[in-house]
Amino acid sequence: MKSALEAIRAAAHEQLQNTADLKDLEEIRIKFLGKKGELTAILKQMGKLTPEERPVMGQLANEVRAFIEEELATRQKALQEAATKEKLRQETLDVTMPGKTRSLGHKHPLTLVLDEVKEIFIGMGFDIVQGPEVELDYYNFEALNLPKDHPARDTQDTFYITDNILLRTQTSPMQVRTMEQRKPPLRIIAPGRVYRSDAVDATHSPVFHQIEGLVVDKGITMADLKGCLEAIVKRLYGQDAVVRFRPHHFPFTEPSAEVDIQCFGCHGEGCRLCKGEGWIEILGCGMVHPKVLSNCGIDPEVYSGFAFGIGLERLVMGRYSIDDLRLFYENDLRFLEQF
């Protein structure tokens, strides 16, 4: 009986080693360990053994069963791993083939950059306000210290609807509208469309966008204007942007300035990009004119403030090196999809 058990152990071992298929393993298990299997058959003969032999043979039989079970498990695991491996091998993809995309829309580049500007200002505590594009002469000119006979009020540039109604030539009327509606402290930007009677070419459009800004509070200084705008310019153009404030004239600010950044192309030496000037003008600004504050019912002896206006198109053109303003309004998808 012992030899029969040993034979079973050997036969099982050999068969298991020679098996390459998971299905065969089950057959082997049944053949040796099943109810009608060889080991079971042997165990049924235990009754014929002497009481002394029984525990010995019993233990041996258990050993053989355990051995076969373990071998079975090991073999099954190995075969399963091989099978999995083979399956995965067969499923190999050419991962360099293109992905399946869903087409997403593209924000217009003007909106893209404007949204960035809004985020910067929101972060600095500014609110965003909007107002009419078809505007009263009063808000566009008169309240901004540009009376009817003012020389800066070159009517050639203004689209008029009636004597008193026009298409706003700047977002500055929003300074007045805001100051009429709210009381200081004020921090607002007013982005929007403006209109000038310029024929369309690569750098001119009768419609374009400005971002007006206004800060009014007690004790606002020109140093605050410089600090605020320099911070914004550096956020927009990079921390290494070189900024200068150059005296200028706007009827509704005093003192007034234009802000230039040093040309990235030539670092101030003068090149084609900056038309030889070394600097590129990016915005106009100034301390709010006392007359404008008074016009809006704010006492210039108590409050001061600054205002600025940024041309959005120029900002975006500089950012992406776009050389033709018309592209913004042609809306060709081959252009829009680049952003």
Cβ-based nearer residue to another protein, 265 or 278: 278
Look up residue 261 and give its two tokens.
Answer: 């950044």
* Least distance CB 73 / another protein (angstroms): 40
Cβ-based nearer residue to another protein, 37 or 305: 305
Look up residue 68 and give its two tokens.
Answer: 């076969």
Contacts of 156 (CB under 8 A, 6+ apart): 197
Look up residue 187 and give its two tokens.
Answer: 């921090």
Cβ-based nearer residue to another protein, 85 or 183: 183
* Least distance CB 252 / another protein (angstroms): 11
> What is the C-alpha separation between 38 and 35, in angstroms, rounded?
9
Length of the chain: 339
> What is the C-alpha separation between 14 and 18, in angstroms, rounded?
6
Question: What is the radius of gyration, based on Cα positions, of the chain?
Answer: 42
Cβ-based nearer residue to another protein, 76 or 197: 197
252 touches 170 (CB < 8 A): no
Cβ-based nearer residue to another protein, 251 or 311: 251
3-class secondary structure, 288: strand
> What is the C-alpha separation between 231 and 121, in angstroms, rounded?
11
Cβ-based nearer residue to another protein, 69 or 142: 142
* Least distance CB 9 / another protein (angstroms): 54
Q: Where are the alpha helices (DSSP H) in the chain?
A: 2-18, 22-33, 38-44, 53-90, 109-123, 137-140, 173-181, 222-237, 290-295, 312-320, 326-330, 333-336
> What is the C-alpha separation between 246 and 234, in angstroms, rounded?
17
Residue 336 CB coordination number (10 Å): 16
39 touches 28 (CB < 8 A): no
* Least distance CB 139 / another protein (angstroms): 10
* Least distance CB 271 / another protein (angstroms): 14
Contacts of 322 (CB under 8 A, 6+ apart): 109, 316, 328
* Least distance CB 127 / another protein (angstroms): 6
* Least distance CB 203 / another protein (angstroms): 16
Amino acid present at 158: T
Cβ-based nearer residue to another protein, 184 or 318: 184
Nearest alpha-carbon partner for 282 in 325, 336, 319: 319
Bridge partner residues of 299 (DSSP): none
Cβ-based nearer residue to another protein, 32 or 250: 250
Cβ-based nearer residue to another protein, 32 or 139: 139
* Least distance CB 231 / another protein (angstroms): 7
* Least distance CB 236 / another protein (angstroms): 16
